[in-house]
Amino acid sequence: MQPNSMMHQQMGYDRAITMFSPDGRLLQVEYAKKTVKQGSTSIGIVCKDGVMLIADKRVVDPLIIPESVEKVWEIDEHIATTAAGIISDARVLVERAQLAAQQNRLTYDSPIDTASIVKELCALKQITTQSGGLRPFGVSMLIGGVDKDGPKLYSTDPTGIYFQYKATVIGEGETDILEELHKKYKDDMTINEAVKLSVDLLKKFLDKDFSADRLDIVYIKKDEKKFTRMKADEIKKLK
């Protein structure tokens, strides 16, 4: 077969989300994963006193007001999420998660657990991988929360698969930062220690592009179960 014919055949398989390639791949899903790897970096860490999420807002235009850019969202007062990839896709998923959390409170008069939110979002993500006329959500998400049995952290990808982690990273620089997390993560870390570690890792990765204005940091303490966003002046003191 001529190279051009092979190329055209391959192109046919990546134009439809419902069509497997001859080697058993959904090419549109793989392209979505590549989009995630180009997204801004987000780190999540489970600590002995709660859970922490930090995201690079990637504010590169000096005319943008850094405080107006939000990369960590509140799902419920005890659950937060951040994303890497196409952020407009993430907002749709965040709104779905917020709705599920409020419905649970109205129906059962109790806060929803983190795993239920994760399963709700992953079910929606999975549907888009087998439905004609749709495309996969081009976003991976970290979802951290504090349940009755303690802090939890989950990572989801565009396929709808999810895993629970002690610490992980998504987006640009995932490989390098994850390698550092493997070396430096400790089970008895506090939120303050986790924030400092994450800032140091982002500072090392971003190098000369690093700025405290680029960081969005949220934590939820185990005893308070309350979504708390660090203020800009607090973040600058960490530098």
What DSSP line would sit under 82-93, residue for residue? Answer: EEEE-HHHHHHH
Residue 88 inside a domain? The answer is yes
The tally of domains found in the chain comes to: 1
Residue range 77-83: average pLDDT? Answer: 98
Q: Which amino acid is at 59?
A: V
Whether residue 1 lies inside any domain: the answer is: no
Domain that holds residue 88: 23-236
Contacts of 184 (CB under 8 A, 6+ apart): 197
pLDDT computed for residue 11 by the predictor: 59
Q: What is the value of pTM for the model shown?
A: 0.92
pLDDT band at 4 (very low <50, low <70, confident <90, very high): low
Is residue 227 included in any domain, yes or no? Answer: yes
Give the CA angle between residues 113, 114, 116 to the nearest 5°. Answer: 70
Q: Is residue 167 part of a domain?
A: yes
The domain that contains 168 carries what CATH number? 3.60.20.10
* Residues 126 and 115 sit within 8 Å (Cβ to Cβ): no
- Residue 10 is assigned to a structural domain of this protein: no
Q: How many CB atoms lie within 10 A of CB 231?
A: 11
- Position 17 in a domain: no
Identify whether 70 is part of a domain.
Answer: yes
CB atoms within 10 A of CB 155: 20
Query: What is the per-residue pLDDT across 127-177, written as a single tens digit (0 to 9) for each?
Result: 999 988 889 999 999 999 999 999 999 999 999 999 999 999 999 999 999
- Least confident span in 46-60, 93-107, 178-192, 224-238: 224-238
Domain presence at residue 18: no
Are 201 and 208 spatial neighbours (Cβ–Cβ below 8 Å)?
no
At residue 82 the predicted structure's pLDDT band, cuts being 50, 70 and 90, is very high
